[in-house]
Amino acid sequence: MPSFNPPLRVLMGPGPSDVHPRVLAAMARPTIGHLDPVFQTLMEDMKELLRYAFRTKNRLTMPASGPGSVGMETCFVNLVEPGDVVVVCQNGVFGGRMKENVERCGATAVMVTDEWGKGVDLAKIKKAVADNPKTKIIAFVHAETSTGALSDAQAICAFAKEKGLLTIVDAVTSLGGVPLEVDAWGIDAIYSGSQKCLSCTPGLSPVSFSARAEAVIKGRNRKVQSWFMDMSLIMNYWEAQGGARTYHHTAPINSLYGLHESLVMLKEEGLENSWARHRKNHLALRAGLEAMGLELLVAEHERLPQLNAIKVPAGTDEAAVRKRLLADYNLEIGAGLGALAGKVWRVGLMGSSSTANHVTLCLAALENVLPAAGAKIKTGVAGPAARAVLFP
């Protein structure tokens, strides 16, 4: 049986994004023990770097060992108890997963639904809370990966704080790509993923809990239903608190090297500069797509720069387009999920995949591939339109 050697792809789907060579090199460094004093130094640095990325001073800020789904469950199982009422916002696939978490915790999920491709409607949240006075938490997706829609987290969290409610926020696709202010917006529990705008490998989920959320965890009436995700146990490993760290699980050492390096790179670039880079490359991609005659699903004021949902033109074999891009250009883009299956392509401009070269390659490849798949587009126009934005 030979060793496995994957092809070198250009990752422009909904995640993972391209992993920077510096991150891959960091992950190849020698493995040490998860209680090694040197590794504990990395752990402390990691927490500070994540506080920088989240814009928070929260003590309970660390990477959960597992993908974004583990970060999601960590937030829900620690804050939601049987009998609780949680208002869950769904405007795509991942709000539905929040509902599953609430119900598996033995709580009631009050659903606020919006059309896929639109942001969460705050007026609907206000009505749901008014109709359910025992509401404890509002849960919503900041950046819906299945649609490319961005919701107004600042406004939602301000309302929750006004009503004395907790918030749980999915920031899997937003962290590092768009403005996100955990402390300034009053977010209580938030989770993200390592493989999107942070450009690390999949398998780690940064989480952060406010002091208010921490007090709720400490005041629980029963044990957290998940031993592995119990923050009261995990933080005994991630914090010494005047004594030795307590073994909880064997941390994914080399993956944490990679996340540390990606966060170092984020700080070197500067958070605001990262936001601006993602925005500029999105505008260039949009210019090229519109010049070809293609449309984006999400209205401009709610559009994610790092996840672009492109409407499939009538009569176009959308799967054939993705297959040709992969075969001829080693370029991966994503298909639609759920209600949008077959209706959109999802093109990611996240982290190391958010560059001028990625934009121009994607546009050139689409211009070549789309006509053969039945799409009636203008050719020879996308590149100049994008370059006008990239190099004004």
The domain locations on the chain are 20-268, 271-390
What kind of architecture, by CATH, is found in domain 20-268? 3-Layer(aba) Sandwich (3.40)
Question: Does 20-268 match 271-390 in CATH topology?
Answer: no
pLDDT-based confidence at residue 241 (cuts at 50, 70, 90): low
On whether the CB atoms of residues 49 and 245 are closer than 8 A, the answer is: no
Instruction: State pTM to two decimals.
Output: 0.96
Full DSSP string of 268-295 = HH-HHHHHHHHHHHHHHHHHHHHHHT--
| Topology (CATH) of 271-390 | Aspartate Aminotransferase, domain 1 (3.90.1150)
What is the C-alpha R_g of the chain?
21
User: CA 62, 66, 67: angle at the middle one, nearest 5?
Assistant: 100
Q: What average pLDDT does this structure show over 175-188?
A: 98
pLDDT band at 243 (very low <50, low <70, confident <90, very high): low
Sign of CA dihedral 60, 61, 66, 71: positive
Is the predicted pLDDT of residue 24 greater than 90, yes or no? yes
Which stretch of DSSP H or E encloses residue 154?
A: helix 153-162
- pLDDT exceeding 70 applies to what percent of the chain? 99
What integer pLDDT is reported at residue 149 of this predicted model?
98
**356-369 and 318-329 helices, crossing angle to 10°:** 120
pLDDT at residue 4 is higher than 80: yes
Q: Tell me what pLDDT residue 244 has.
A: 73
Is the pLDDT confidence value at 372 over 70? Answer: yes
pLDDT digits (tens, 9 = 90+) for 187-233: 999 999 999 999 999 999 999 999 999 999 999 989 999 999 999 99
Mean pLDDT of the chain: 96
Pairing of strands 204-209, 189-191: antiparallel
Q: List, for residues 34-72, the tens digit of each pLDDT value.
A: 989 999 999 999 999 999 999 999 999 999 999 999 999
Average pLDDT of span 359-375: 97
Other Cβ atoms within 10 Å of 337 Cβ, number: 17
What pLDDT is stored for residue 316 in this prediction? 96
Cα separation, 92 vs 72, in Å, equals: 16
**pLDDT reported for residue 8:** 95
CA distance 263 to 271: 10
Reported as a single tens digit per residue, the pLDDT across 286-326 is 999 999 999 999 999 999 999 999 999 999 999 999 999 99
Whether 387 shows a pLDDT value over 70: the answer reads: yes
- CA 84 – CA 386 distance, rounded (Å): 50
Angle at 345 between CA 363 and CA 362, to 5 degrees: 15
Quick one: DSSP state of residue 16? P
pLDDT band at residue 246, thresholds of 50, 70 and 90? confident
Report the alpha-carbon distance of residue 34 to residue 256 in Å, rounded.
Answer: 10
